[in-house]
């Protein structure tokens, strides 16, 4: 619980994306389908129409402030609403002022320009209601509780970070560094721009298995295999991120600004439950750099990775599938 030394609204601002259009390099515009964004996922996928030559995207926004924002006896004045897009990879911060729809109402709308040259992958969109409180300008009185993700390349609006799966013959790959792993079915690379699994096509049948679809046991085994890879990835990502933590001038660890920070924020509640993620990060950092407690934490890190990879669900489906198969062969 944060403490604020002034009056605020205690409910969050709600944000919806209402339209997305791309400006292409030949000057034309492409209005994207509504499948480019998802309110449930709180994500926008700018790569959905397959354009690689777009210059900028205009994202239409509609915002509703919590009740009380426009109360006549409110503790604030000069109310304004600001959409802020930030990107930890490119250090971009873009803000747009929204306008009030109807005098006396709580709905605001406007649009945000997103430049292609400014983003490599995922940027984060938040909305702030700002006013003058007790004579202090620029006070944030309410904000969105969960940021939207604006993904410059993705073709599907999903909030969580997806693994990048690449197939390669390790023995013959142009990526020479893969050759030393020729006898492994897959390896994990967490130093790439997004966490990547390289699947070794030299392992006979592995691609058929991974590409299998339908309802047979094959596809359930595939899901289990993917869950196993994902568990490996999230464990590796967690260790990588914790190992590279930056420390602020006061000596406390700082969340990485890229996707590693995103993953840490998602996994930490399972690693150190019951505390704020900032505190969880401090505890984990202390355990790793201090005298004791790092070994004991491994089980929890593994647990968090298993949860994030949905491994239990995949295993349950495989077991059910095998049971069914056995039953059918008996009858």
Partner 1 sequence: MITQPNHVPERLGLLVTSAVDPFLTEELLKGEQVHGGIDLAKVVEPLPEDDARWWVEPIRSLVEDAMFEFREDRTLADAWLAPRLHATLRLTRREAADKRLWNHLALAVAPDYVVWRHLSESTANRPERRVAAERFRGPADRQCFSRLWWAAELFRNGSDYEPVELACGNQDLIHTVLRSELIDHRPTAQALVRLLKSGQVSGGREVNGLSVAINAAGATLIYDVLAPDRPRDPTRLRDWIAEAESAPPVQRYELPDGPDEDPVPEESVAALAGYFAELFETAPVRGRKSGD
Among 53, 73, 204, 246, the residue binding partner 1 under the rule CB under 8 A is 246
Burial label, 133 (beta-carbon count in 10 A; 0-12, 13-18, 19+) = buried
CB of 211 to partner 1, least distance (A): 25
* SS3 at position 178: helix
Among 111, 118, 242, 271, the residue binding partner 1 under the rule CB under 8 A is 118
Please say whether the dihedral angle defined by the alpha carbons of residues 169, 170, 172 and 178, taken in this order, is positive or negative. Answer: positive
CB of 93 to partner 1, least distance (A): 4
Phi then psi for residue 249, to 5 deg, are -55, -25
Of 140, 157, 142, the residue nearest 59 (C-alpha) = 157
Task: Give the residue with the Cβ less far from partner 1, 211 or 279.
Answer: 279
Residue 120 interacting with partner 1 (CB under 8 A): yes
CB of 258 to partner 1, least distance (A): 9
Residue 53 interacting with partner 1 (CB under 8 A): no
Q: How many binding residues for partner 1 (CB under 8 A)? A: 45
Query: Per-residue contact track with partner 1, 84 to 113, x per CB under 8 A?
Result: x-x-xxxxxx-x-----------------x
Give residues 256-295 in contact with partner 1 (rule: CB under 8 A): 257
Under 8 Å between Cβ of 134 and 77: no
User: Which segment (12-20, 133-141, 223-231, 286-294) binds partner 1 by CB under 8 A?
Assistant: 133-141
What's the rounded Cα separation, in Å, for the pair 26 and 115? 15
Among 29, 35, 71, 137, the residue binding partner 1 under the rule CB under 8 A is 137
Under 8 Å between Cβ of 8 and 141: yes
Burial label, 247 (beta-carbon count in 10 A; 0-12, 13-18, 19+) = exposed
CB of 281 to partner 1, least distance (A): 15
Residue 163 interacting with partner 1 (CB under 8 A): no
Under 8 Å between Cβ of 93 and 85: yes
Q: Are strands 246-247 and 253-254 parallel, antiparallel or unpaired?
A: antiparallel
For the record, the structure tokens of 184 come out as: 């492994």
User: Which segment (135-143, 218-226, 228-236, 297-305) binds partner 1 by CB under 8 A?
Assistant: 135-143
CB of 94 to partner 1, least distance (A): 8
Residue 27 interacting with partner 1 (CB under 8 A): no
Burial label, 84 (beta-carbon count in 10 A; 0-12, 13-18, 19+) = middle
Residue 177 interacting with partner 1 (CB under 8 A): yes
Residues that bind partner 1 (CB under 8 A): 2, 4-6, 55-56, 80, 82, 84, 86, 88-93, 95, 113, 115-120, 128, 130, 136-140, 175-177, 189, 191-193, 244, 246, 248-250, 254, 257
């Amino acid at each position: 619980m944060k403490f604020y030394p002034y009056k605020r609204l205690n409910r969050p601002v709600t944000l919806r994306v209402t339209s997305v259009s791309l400006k292409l390099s030949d000057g034309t515009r492409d209005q994207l389908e509504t499948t480019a964004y998802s309110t449930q996922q709180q994500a926008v996928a700018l790569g959905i129409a397959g354009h690689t030559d777009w210059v900028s995207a205009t994202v239409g926004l509609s915002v509703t402030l919590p009740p009380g924002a426009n109360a006549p006896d409110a503790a604030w004045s000069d109310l304004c609403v600001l959409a802020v897009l930030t990107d930890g990879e490119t250090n971009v911060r873009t803000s747009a002022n929204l306008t009030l729809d109807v005098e006396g109402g709580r709905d605001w709308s406007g649009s945000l320009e997103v430049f292609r040259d400014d983003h490599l992958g995922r940027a984060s969109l938040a909305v702030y209601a700002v006013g003058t409180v007790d004579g202090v300008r620029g006070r944030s009185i309410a904000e969105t509780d969960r940021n939207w993700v604006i993904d410059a390349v993705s073709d599907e609006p999903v909030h969580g970070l997806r693994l990048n799966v690449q197939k390669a013959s390790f023995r013959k790959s142009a990526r020479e560094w893969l050759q030393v792993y020729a006898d492994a079915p897959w390896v994990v690379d967490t130093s790439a721009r997004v966490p990547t699994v390289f699947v070794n096509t030299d392992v006979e049948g592995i691609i058929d298995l991974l590409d299998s679809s339908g309802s047979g046991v094959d596809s359930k085994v595939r899901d289990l295999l993917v869950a196993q890879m994902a568990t490996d990835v999230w464990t590796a990502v967690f260790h990588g991120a914790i190992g590279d933590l930056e420390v602020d001038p006061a000596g406390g660890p700082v969340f990485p600004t890229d996707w590693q920070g995103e993953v840490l924020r998602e996994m930490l509640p399972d690693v150190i439950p019951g505390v704020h993620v900032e505190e969880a990060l401090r505890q984990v950092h202390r355990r790793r750099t201090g005298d004791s407690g790092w070994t004991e934490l491994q089980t929890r890190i593994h647990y968090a990775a298993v949860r994030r990879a949905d491994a239990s669900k995949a295993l349950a489906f495989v077991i059910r599938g095998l049971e069914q198969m056995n039953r059918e062969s008996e009858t």
